[in-house]
Amino acid sequence: MKKQDQLEMTWKTHGGKRPGAGRKRQSARPNVAHRPRPEISKHEPLNLTMRLHRLIKTLRNERAIALVYRCLAAGADRFQGRVIHFSVQRDHIHLVAEAENKESLTRFMKGLSGRIAKRLNKFLNRRGQVISDRYHATALTCPTQVKSAIAYVLNNYRHHAAQRNRRVPTGWVDPCSNGYAFDGWTTTPEVSNRPPFPLPPLPQPRTFLLTVLWWRKAGKIAIDTIPGPR
């Protein structure tokens, strides 16, 4: 009996790596890579960014800002993490912060972002995701980096206004930041720039870079500085 040849069968599958595979992006902004975070030093401040889900339209209104300020007041000094400076933009929050180690930072940011998400969902009468992605973290290792980070956070509104070719008044301080209480400006903010609602109490910095070294080495910051690329 003649042995039959074995038939080869080919299969079309949808698995594996290929161009265009996977879930399609909903935003042109790249996500923070899901890699293990590096160890951090308690002697180095951090520049942190929390981005909101695209369905959260804006935080820059009086009721939403008051809500975020309450979250900062309750969560700015917990789990060996500390918020030193902040600014609240339309769809993201910038922080200059400190943490004792990587584990402390993880617990601190998880607590703060969870607190904000819970309050915002209740305020908007919705459920679901509020923080759109992992927080972005950059260690600040020298006085120049610290100065640039503080300027970028406190004057972030000026940065975005310059990108849209909008003018911001001279001497204006963003009321959705702790800029009015900041003592590292080259000039004192005018009384007319006082925010319409109380700023949340923030802890004092402990790292030498954030207390005195940055302005001793790099100099104080002009209120009208436009930080970052235009």
CATH number of the domain at 150, please.
Answer: 3.30.70.1290
Structural domain includes residue 120: yes
Inside any domain, residue 143? yes
Report DSSP letters for 30-73, one per residue. PPPP-SPPPP--TTS-EEEEEEB-TT---S-SHHHHHHHHHHHH
pLDDT tens track for 67-82 = 999 999 999 999 999 9
The reported pLDDT for the residue numbered 210 is 96
- The radius of gyration computed from the CA coordinates of the chain, to the nearest angstrom, equals 23
Give pLDDT tens digits for 87-123: 999 999 999 999 999 999 999 999 999 999 999 999 8
Burial class (CB in 10 A: 0-12, 13-18, 19+), 174: buried
The domain in which residue 151 lies consists of 46-218
Ranges of residues in the chain with a pLDDT under 70 are 1-37, 230
* Residue 226 belongs to a domain: no
Inside any domain, residue 229: no
Task: Determine, yes or no, domain membership for 79.
Answer: yes
Residue 22 lies in a domain: no
pLDDT the model gives residue 191: 80
Number of other residues whose CB lies within 10 A of the CB of residue 52: 23
In a domain, 76, yes or no: yes
**Is 142 contained in some domain?**
yes
Domain count, the chain: 1
pTM of the full structure:
0.83
CB atoms within 10 A of CB 182: 18
